[in-house]
């Protein structure tokens, strides 16, 4: 993190980034859900779900920052809750509009789990390498290893297969 935050307190920056990380999952699932709602003609539904999420963010962030011992650490937690509430709201709207749920979790869970496994392995390698190498070199090696592990896992679990690549190519070729 010293590459990202050379003049700031690393501990604070690292903890804030760690706390906000789950928001990535909720946001990416929200993006897919809201795109699906827009595709079926419900263009105002994403705005409604984001409005509900924003209201929760303001209220939760205020409470967590000012009324608890969390202080500034309440802000990223408010963001995570915002996206979780917005996703939940969009999924409810989608279920009512379509008469069935969106299979977003089953299709998104495997890539997230493989990414998580790659990050855990990368972190373990970094911790081992950082004792004998310069931290920047250890970081670059562990990032490269994470990419290799991720590609291997998505291939092994069939998330990425030659058949899927051909199918994507068929829909993306302009010729």
Instruction: Report pLDDT for 166.
Output: 81
Q: Report the pLDDT value the prediction gives residue 92, as an integer from 0 to 100.
A: 92
Summarize pLDDT for 58-67 with one digit per residue, the tens. Answer: 999 999 888 8
What's the longest Cα–Cα distance across the chain? 60
Q: Report the pLDDT value the prediction gives residue 55, as an integer from 0 to 100.
A: 95
| DSSP helix/strand/coil, 44 | coil
CA distance 117 to 76: 23
Phi-psi region of 63 (alpha: psi -120 to 50; beta: other; left: phi over 0): alpha
To the nearest 10°, the Cα dihedral for 48, 53, 57, 59? Answer: 70
- How far apart, in whole angstroms, are the C-alpha atoms of residue 44 and residue 146? 39
pTM greater than 0.75? no
User: For 124-149, how does the pLDDT look when each residue is reduced to its tens digit (9 = 90+)?
Assistant: 998 899 888 888 898 899 999 999 99
């Amino acid at each position: 993190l010293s590459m990202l935050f050379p003049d700031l307190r690393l501990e604070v920056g690292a903890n804030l980034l760690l706390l906000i990380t789950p928001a990535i999952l909720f946001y990416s699932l929200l993006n897919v859900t809201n795109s699906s709602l827009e595709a079926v003609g419900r263009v105002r539904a994403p705005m409604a779900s984001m409005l509900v999420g924003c209201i929760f963010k303001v209220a939760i962030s205020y409470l967590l920052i000012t009324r608890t011992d969390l202080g500034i650490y309440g802000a990223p937690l408010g963001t995570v809750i915002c996206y979780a509430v917005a996703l939940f709201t969009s999924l409810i709207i989608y279920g009512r509009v379509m008469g069935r749920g969106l299979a977003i979790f089953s299709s998104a869970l495997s890539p997230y789990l493989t990414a998580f496994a790659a990050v855990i392995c990368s972190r373990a390698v970094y911790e081992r390498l950082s004792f004998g190498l310069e931290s920047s070199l250890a970081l670059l090696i562990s990032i490269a290893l994470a990419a290799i592990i991720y590609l291997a896992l998505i291939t092994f679990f069939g998330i990425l297969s030659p058949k899927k690549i051909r199918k994507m190519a068929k829909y993306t070729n302009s010729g």
